[in-house]
Amino acid sequence: MINIILAGVGGQGIVLASKMITQTAMDKGMQVRSSETIGMAQRGGCVASHIRIGERIFSPLIPRGTVDIIIGFEPAEAVRYLTYLKENGIVIVSQKAIKPAFDPKATMEYDEQEMLKYLISHVKCLQIVDADAIYAECGSAKILNTALLGVAAATGVFGFSMEDIEKTINNNLPKKLIEINLKALHLGQSIAEENL
């Protein structure tokens, strides 16, 4: 059983990344279940997707302490789901913070560096990704999801290859978005390979 959580903020493309993973698994003949929590997503709230790949999956929701990989699109959201990670599980996280939606009169402060320090001290296998460098390389802020997917796929945790994900992108995204998403996917792969 492969357990995956994608966590971030509404508008980051988490649901699309989840669909790319599940579609690729289905195309490979694997059994897969997924579930998204998107309640306040349209207002900048948190979004999470649980994905399970394997045999005899009775529930799409993942128990705490059993996740193989957390893909954090935002540092605080990666920290929020850390209790789900199994020992020696992998965390891939964008270093770029997105301030959560809250009452502007509130005194809440958010320090992404503290979140990253917490992850560094609590996760054995951690990959911090420079989102700004990805944006600059690809010329778009809308492809972080695919770049993080490329980083994750390079770990081999999904049970399918980078070529399998490329097929999913080619077969399921609008033609005008294929080239930039393939570029982001390979950029993510190269980031992962540089840090192995």
What is the bridge-based pairing of β-strands 2-9 and 32-37? Answer: unpaired
Calpha distance 76→28 (Å, rounded): 33
The pLDDT, as a whole number, for residue 100 is: 57
What count of other Cβ atoms lies within 10 Å of the Cβ of residue 15? 17
pLDDT tens-place values along the chain, 196 residues long = 999 999 998 888 999 999 999 999 999 999 999 998 866 555 567 889 999 999 889 889 999 999 999 999 999 999 999 999 999 999 999 999 886 555 454 445 678 899 999 999 999 999 999 999 999 999 998 999 999 999 999 999 999 999 999 999 999 999 999 999 999 999 999 999 887 6
The pLDDT, as a whole number, for residue 44 is: 65
pTM score, whole prediction: 0.92
How many CA atoms lie within 13 Å of 192's alpha carbon, on the beta-carbon side? 23
What is the bridge-based pairing of β-strands 46-53 and 2-9? Answer: antiparallel
Judged by DSSP in three states, 53 sits in strand
Indicate the domain borders of the chain.
2-99+109-194
Cα distances from 4 to residues 11, 153, 163, in angstroms, run 20, 12, 20
Q: Which CATH number fits domain 2-99+109-194: 3.40.190.10, 3.40.920.10, 3.40.1110.10, 3.30.70.20?
A: 3.40.920.10
The pLDDT, as a whole number, for residue 102 is: 52
